[in-house]
Amino acid sequence: MRRPTTGVLGTGLALLSSLLLAQSPHAATASGAAFVSDDFASGVLDPSLWTVTDPAGEGTVAFPGAGTSNARLSLSVPSGTNYDPWGTNRALRATQPVTNDDFQAHVRFLSVPTAKYQTQGILVEQDATNWMRFEVHSDGSSLNMFAAKTVNGKTTTLLRETITAGTESQLRLTRTGDTWTLAHSTDGTTWITAETINHTIQATHIGPFAANGSPYPTFTADIDYFFDTAAPIEPEDGNTATTHTLTTTTDGQGTITRNPDNTTYPEGTDVTLTATPANGWTFTGWTGDTTGPDPTTTITMNTDHTVTATFHQDTPPEEDEYALTVSVNGDGTVQRSPSASTYPDGTDVTLTAAPAEGWTFAGWSGDASGTDESVVVMMDAPRSVTATFEQVSVDPPSVDVWYGDDQTFGVAGVSQRWVNVLGNVSDADGIQSANYRLNGNAPVGLSIGSDLRRLYGEGDVNVEIPYDDLSSGANTVAITATDTTGESATESVTVRKDVRSPSLPYSTSWGSSQNPNDVAQVVDGKWTSGSGGLTIVEPGYDRTVAVGDSSWDNYEVEVPVTVRGLTPGYGTPQSGSPVVGLALRWNGHTPRDTEEPAVGWYPTGAFAWYQWYDSGRYALIGNDGWPLSRDGAPWDFGTTYIMKARVESVAGGTDYSYKWWPQGTSEPQGWSLSVTDDNSPDTGGVLLIAHHVDATFGTVDVSPLGDSP
């Protein structure tokens, strides 16, 4: 049953069909046809007949084989874009008006869907929210014949049937009133007909479509023809149009666009060409089968044509150029981009600072500022930029000055010819060298322990400075240590020279300060003082403290000594046996060679000590090791002994005497050991000696003997 049409609509469609048939040899209508058949042989869609709708704007319409016996229409949808006509008509489609009557549409697809939800079919539209779709699609494993209706934007499935796929896919849709019958064929001869569908719709447009569903694969529907079976084109692709080839070339730098954009065109097609020059170039004209200076021209394809667009390079205006000067403070480099010495006016130059190892970028100055490693300089004038790098101090050496950064010498007497600033240098990477500067003068190298002598501990240093080199008042001693990576650290010590001459009798007051340098002068080692006396903190080789003044001549000295035990390290060629005791008429160590600090013990008046040699012995030893007197006796650890010694100048030399007794017992009447030395210094102070022993010295009392004979 045919649906009735109004007189105006029917007359208009009949007139449109006759006009289209007259305009194109590849579209055909006949009495009773509902729409115009097309075999797409011309290579174009007649815009007065067909409307292409691409909702996503990413589809492609092409005409492979145009003008040949294999002409077809291709509708392509891309991967990842939704072209699913479910709920909303997103299909890429070519539609034309259709009468709201009975019809039979026949479409031949040379393509077959294989990936999940690749889709091709026939779309019958009423309006934007009402349509029907008849199709074949793949579910990823099989091919399905499918139909659905959309009413006011709501889609409902009407038909789904699995079919056998072939090398092509043809659909035949038959409308009879409100019934719809869909059939499928793989060869156009044998048809599989699905069940009849009932749905009422006011059909206004019909045409083929391509679509996809999630996961939205790419797909091309290759359409050989779309026929109303009441008026097919016979022979199909037989009345091929005469086509011509358009060849375009460019001379210089630029592009040519053509509209419509094809390689071949049907006879009589007007093609619009537009020339667009590249940056810095100008279009100068067309040559070949069209001429003229206008960048847009139209050529009629009545034969093969060749056209050339010519472009000439613009002559750049002369530009000012400016120099960029880059300087570096510190250790690092600066790269410039673009790399040149001069730049045209307005050029932006990127400068990038790269610090050397162990350095960091501090900032830009001059015609750039900031601390970012990259900066942009506009060259609108000569520019000068400086990059400043600063050395990074990573784990610098440690300089530990044992008796403080402000030390005074001479208040308790000039007990020897030297002052000693003691300490230790250390670093995880190892110490390479150390030195000191006195009052900013040239550096003097320092030996670094351990040497198993005066510099007993690892990293120990002893800055030994003659009194005569110090200025009265404050002096600055800067101690610098450098590690094996080149990192260095400096510790400055204020050394005050305040010389006074203490008179006899004289007593040390160890309890007045924890710093023994406030009462005496530490020569070697790390000591502490307090009410309990003077105690060695880090025992080792010849830990010594000088007491009194080097101007003293004849005196007696008495001091209690407690030894708690022997300490490791003795018995080497450098150390020999452990010793505790005194030196009389002490004036300081003497250099034996170029060593620093000095290690020579002589000239010294005499040594009065106890020596743990064999079963133990007391000894009194003159200058240069002779004369010598000994007495074998034990020493009980933890017991305090009183050591008493005497020095007196006599005719023909100097007498030295020595005795000892346990504290709390009676002092012996006479001297236990005595020697006369004919090669003794005339004057000197007292030196307390703890050699590889853990010892404490009590109050040192020094008494005068009177005038020398």
**CA atoms in the 13 A half-sphere facing the CB of 217:** 15
**The pLDDT of residue 535 is above 90:** yes
Please state whether the predicted TM-score (pTM) of the whole model is above 0.85. Answer: no
Sheet arrangement for strand 488-497 = 406-409, 488-497, 473-483, 431-438, 444-445
The confidence score (pLDDT) of residue 16 equals 30
Beta carbons within 8 Å of 209's beta carbon, 6+ residues apart: 75, 85, 91, 92, 93, 94, 119, 120, 121, 122, 123, 133, 135, 221
The confidence score (pLDDT) of residue 4 equals 29
Contact by Cβ (8 Å): 510, 531: yes
Segment 161-198, tens digit of pLDDT: 999 999 999 999 999 999 999 999 999 999 999 989 99
**The pLDDT of residue 575 is above 90:** no
Contact by Cβ (8 Å): 663, 558: no
**The pLDDT of residue 23 is above 90:** no
**The pLDDT of residue 74 is above 70:** yes
Residue 689 structure tokens: 């000696």
**The pLDDT of residue 122 is above 60:** yes
**The pLDDT of residue 318 is above 70:** no
Bigger pLDDT: 704 or 15? 704
Q: How far apart are CA 373 and CA 501, in angstroms?
A: 63
The confidence score (pLDDT) of residue 242 equals 73
Q: How far apart are CA 586 and CA 547, in angstroms?
A: 9
Cis peptide before 266 (omega within 30 of 0): no
Segment 379-410, tens digit of pLDDT: 999 999 999 999 876 678 999 999 999 999 99
**The pLDDT of residue 43 is above 60:** yes
Contact by Cβ (8 Å): 607, 582: yes
The confidence score (pLDDT) of residue 592 equals 83
The confidence score (pLDDT) of residue 462 equals 96
> Environment class of residue 485 by beta-carbon count within 10 Å: exposed (0-12), middle (13-18) or buried (19+)?
middle
The confidence score (pLDDT) of residue 539 equals 94
The confidence score (pLDDT) of residue 458 equals 94
Q: How far apart are CA 344 and CA 317, in angstroms?
A: 11
Compute the Cα dihedral for 401, 407, 411, 417 and give only its sign.
positive
Segment 280-317, tens digit of pLDDT: 899 999 999 999 999 999 999 889 999 999 999 987 66
The confidence score (pLDDT) of residue 440 equals 93
**The pLDDT of residue 213 is above 80:** yes
The confidence score (pLDDT) of residue 393 equals 66
**The pLDDT of residue 325 is above 50:** yes
Q: In this structure, how many other beta carbons lie within 10 angstroms of the beta carbon of residue 203? A: 21
Query: Would you call 10 helix, strand, or coil by DSSP?
Result: helix
CATH number of 7-228: 2.60.120.200
C-alpha dist (Å) from residue 204 to 86, 101, 138, 543, 625? 19, 10, 28, 116, 133
Mean predicted confidence (pLDDT) in 457-476: 95
Q: How far apart are CA 439 and CA 44, in angstroms?
A: 100
Residue 283 structure tokens: 């279009």
Bigger pLDDT: 617 or 18? 617
C-alpha dist (Å) from residue 401 to 96, 346, 466, 490? 101, 60, 19, 11
Task: Look at the block and give the residue holding tokens 């010495």.
Answer: 341
Bigger pLDDT: 534 or 67? 534
Beta strands 506-507 and 460-466, pairing class: unpaired
Q: How far apart are CA 33 and CA 45, in angstroms?
A: 19
The confidence score (pLDDT) of residue 3 equals 29
The confidence score (pLDDT) of residue 400 equals 95
**Number of residues that make up the chain:** 709
Contact by Cβ (8 Å): 271, 261: no
Compute the Cα dihedral for 449, 450, 454, 459 and give only its sign.
positive
Query: Would you call 457 helix, strand, or coil by DSSP?
Result: coil
Q: What H or E segment, with its residue span, contains residue 15? A: helix 7-23
Beta strands 406-409 and 488-497, pairing class: parallel
Pick the CATH number of 398-497 from 3.60.15.10, 3.90.1170.50, 3.30.420.130, 2.60.40.650: 2.60.40.650
Q: How far apart are CA 629 and CA 625, in angstroms?
A: 10
CATH C-level class of 506-704: mainly beta
Query: Would you call 516 helix, strand, or coil by DSSP?
Result: helix
The confidence score (pLDDT) of residue 132 equals 96
Angle at 251 between CA 246 and CA 257, to 5 degrees: 45
**The pLDDT of residue 25 is above 70:** no
The confidence score (pLDDT) of residue 268 equals 82
**The pLDDT of residue 664 is above 90:** yes
Whether the domain at 7-228 and the domain at 506-704 fall into the same CATH topology = yes
Chain-wide mean pLDDT for the chain?
90
Domain boundaries, the chain: 7-228, 243-283+294-309, 321-391, 398-497, 506-704
